[in-house]
Amino acid sequence: MSRRKVPESPPPRALELFQPEPGVLYSLDATARLAGIPRRSILIYCRAGLVRPVVQPPYGVMEFTEEAIYTLRRVEYLRTVHGLDLTWIKTIFNLLDEVERLRAELRFLRNQ
């Protein structure tokens, strides 16, 4: 009985993540591609208040900043890897904002 030789798989490639450029606005489709999540998920996260699009008048087209893309990546990571629901993720984001506010207040008080 002859055995077929299994072709070797190609060497693993490094994961290439595109880093969004500061000051650039990205369409919903581009944001979905860059964040690696479906458009529908982005719309759900917007509705939940986890991320805010920049709406460009007069057409009302949703566009996103690089900060929004990073936020979407964090949301997706917390949801898929840690199994958190959107309520918990929003709570975490609110707590992080509060910590940053308190740090800024502490820096201000130390400089007086």
Q: Backbone dihedral region of 60: left (phi > 0), alpha (psi from -120 to 50 degrees) or beta?
A: left
pLDDT tens profile 45-61: 999 999 999 987 677 88
Under the banding of pLDDT at 50, 70 and 90, the label for residue 8 is low
Section 73-82 average pLDDT: 95
CB neighbours (10 Å) of residue 37? 20
In the chain, which residue ranges form alpha helices assigned H by DSSP?
28-35, 39-47, 66-80, 86-110
pLDDT over threshold 60, residue 15 = no
Q: Where are the domains of the chain?
A: 26-110
Range in 7-11, 34-38, 80-84, 96-100 with the lowest mean pLDDT: 7-11
Long-range Cβ pairs for the range 108-112 (8 Å, 24+):
none
Are 63 and 25 spatial neighbours (Cβ–Cβ below 8 Å)? Answer: yes
Long-range Cβ pairs for the range 30-38 (8 Å, 24+):
31/63, 31/64, 31/68, 31/69, 31/72, 34/69, 35/69, 35/72, 35/73, 35/76, 36/73, 36/76, 37/72, 37/76
pTM of the model: 0.74
- Domain 26-110, CATH among 1.10.10.10, 1.10.1660.10, 3.40.50.300, 3.40.50.620: 1.10.1660.10
